[in-house]
Amino acid sequence: MAEPAGVTEPAGSHRFLSMLRGALERFYYIPYCAVCDEAVEPPTPSPFVCKNCLSQLPFRMGKEEVSWEGSFPLYATFFYKDVLPGLIVSMKFSERTDRARALAPLMARTIQRQGLTADAIIPVPLHRRRLAERGYNQAAILADFLSKSTGIPVLNSLLIRHLETDRQSEARSVRERKLHMRDVFCLDRTSPLVAGLAGRPVLLLDDVVTTGSTLMEAARPLLAEGLRVTGLVAATGRDRYLGYGEAAQQW
């Protein structure tokens, strides 16, 4: 039966129905594992990785600070082996950005354990042509999810990749990779963020470190401006492997 003209449902009723709908959605929502796509049964350190897949992640617990040639500290949450290469590659090239959402809470624990502080997260940028081809920057998406886990804001526009280079995998040697990356990055001097940067701590974020050339060159203009840079990546192939069994005991 139609409502009489001029008669409307009370506003309070709309609010109640909206709240009820939200409560039902939260109650019945079942997160799915970003690794195997099966349902996740809480509790787990990441709400988007099931316990079985979590047991296969090669944590670097106890070795999160990486020994490397850079002039600033570098931390990594995982060793680049086992299931991690597949996760990183699919996140980067197959639009599985849900895997960034799954990895970010685990990387946030690295920040907490190591006592890292930062005023901002700066993801390593892509060149605009590469960004147009891929449609997204996996480091920027990882930074957004990490920001949600830590409350640290993201600066996407400060650092620019103004020169296009060959893909790292196409370079034939470490020396070639370093030459490819020389002077590739710069700061956006038109940004109001450039003023007053000296002494500010920032996290320079990327998905993986192999030779370290990209991260070192990305940090160069930041360090030249006086920022206190700390590198953070999801994974690197350096140092020893530590599995989830040992890692869980240290949480």
Residue 151 in any domain: the answer is: yes
Residue 166 in any domain: the answer is: yes
CA distance 110 to 100: 15
pLDDT of residue 251: 40
Q: How many CB atoms lie within 10 A of CB 186?
A: 14
Mean pLDDT of the region 17-24: 59
DSSP label at residue 59: B
Residue 9 in any domain: the answer is: no
Residue 228 in any domain: the answer is: yes
CA distance 86 to 172: 22
CATH value at residue 68: 3.40.50.2020
Q: Who's near 39: CB < 8 A, 6+ residues apart? A: 30, 31, 32, 33, 50
Smallest CA-to-CA distance from 74 within 220, 215, 200 is with: 215
Find the domain containing 101 and state its range: 58-250
Is the pLDDT assigned to residue 23 strictly greater than 80? Answer: no
Strands 201-209 and 120-123: parallel
pLDDT tier, 3 (very low <50, low <70, confident <90, very high otherwise): very low
CB of 138 closer than 8 Å to CB of 164: no
> What is the model's pTM?
0.79
Query: What b/e sequence results for 222-232 when a residue is b if at least 16 CB atoms lie within 10 Å of its CB, and e otherwise?
Result: beeeebbbbbb
Smallest CA-to-CA distance from 60 within 208, 160, 192 is with: 208
Q: Bigger pLDDT: 173 or 227? A: 227
- Rounded percentage of the chain residues whose pLDDT exceeds 90: 44
Mean pLDDT of the region 185-203: 86
Q: How many CB atoms lie within 10 A of CB 129?
A: 10
pLDDT digits (tens, 9 = 90+) for 57-111: 999 988 899 988 889 999 999 999 998 999 999 998 888 888 999 999 999 999 9
pLDDT digits (tens, 9 = 90+) for 96-151: 888 999 999 999 999 999 999 999 999 999 989 988 888 999 999 999 999 999 99
Residue 177 in any domain: the answer is: yes
Residue 29 in any domain: the answer is: no
Residue 111 in any domain: the answer is: yes
- Average pLDDT of every residue of the chain: 81
CB of 184 closer than 8 Å to CB of 217: yes
Split into its structural domains, the chain has a count of: 1
CA distance 135 to 122: 19
Measured in residues, the chain has a length of 251
Residue 238 in any domain: the answer is: yes
